[in-house]
Amino acid sequence: MRFVLDADQRDFAAALDSLLSGAGTVAAARAWADGDHGPGLALWSRLADLGVTSLATDATPVEVAVAFEALGRHAVPGPWVESAAYLPIALGHDVAGVATVALPPHVPYALDADVADHVYVGDAPADSVGERIASVDPTRHLFPVTGAGEPSREAFDLAVLATAAQLLGAGERVLADSVAYVKQRKQFGREIGSYQAIKHALADVRIGLDFARPLVLGAALGEVDVSAAKVAAGDAAYRASRTGLQVHGAVGYTRELDLSLWLTKIRALVTAWGTPDFHRARILQNLGAG
């Protein structure tokens, strides 16, 4: 079976990409990391007007995957998985404003609880919010919370799908930036992209992302285990981040380079909404049940 988007879904993806391409998402992400939520919240409002926050209840998981791939490609900050994927399904309705959730043990901390209008544990409001803890991704502000809400399997699976789509989008962005870089960076009088070793490394990234994409779309259609999509997208995006760092050389390690936004985001999302070990065990369990 081929998993391809229809015309309306492709138009939606193009509209999102057009909006985000001119929205200054890199500046918004950097401001968010520094505690200035203004640009990010303005972007949140624009995306909400486009219907992104209501996709979980008003559209299909395919549109959710399309939207979250765009969010990952453009490094849009904020608790999007929590507000636009998990909570609308867990609560049975869209959430007004910005919301976040913790779901121990797989989501032990509430993302961006400092800016959220509503903080939940499972399907119930949190009792308390603790002090912020550090994340490998400076745009992800994590907070311990207490509460006794119940988890939702359906909502968790949609959040996993959204995270997988974000990883896919982030991996695509890192690959695109890496290809552009090796075409203009020269060593010994040659573009470094002309060397076979670099071509092969980037080709491996392309193959990984191309194999992950149908799994993400297949999971959105209910034809593929969502845990398989998360593992594949995580592996592909992580390969993209490692290869991107290698081909950029020393400059790839600097925070000043925009690439760092995607490298750290990928590292954080690989373990968000369930670690790779958890999802591999879940795949094995589901295969056994089948």
pLDDT 10s digits, 268-284:
999 999 999 999 999 99
CATH architecture of the domain 153-289 equals Up-down Bundle (1.20)
Q: How far apart are CA 113 and CA 217, in angstroms?
A: 30
pLDDT at 248: 87
Edge-to-edge order in the sheet of strand 118-121: 99-102, 118-121, 124-125
Q: Does the structure show a pLDDT above 90 at 286? A: no
| Predicted local confidence at residue 186, as pLDDT | 62
- Domains of the chain, residue spans: 153-289
Type of residue found at 25: T
For residue range 209-232, list pLDDT tens digits in order.
Answer: 999 999 999 999 999 999 999 999
pLDDT in tens, 77-109: 999 999 999 999 999 999 889 999 999 999 999
Residues 75, 260: contact at Cβ < 8 Å? Answer: no
Q: Which residues contact 100 (CB under 8 A, 6 or more apart)?
A: 79, 82, 83, 110, 111, 112, 113, 116, 118, 119, 120
- The lowest-confidence range among 41-50, 106-115, 142-151, 194-203 is 194-203
Is the pLDDT at 252 greater than 80? The verdict is no
Does the pLDDT at position 74 exceed 60? yes
Over 73-93, what HEC string results?
Answer: HCCCCCCHHHHHHHHHHHHCC
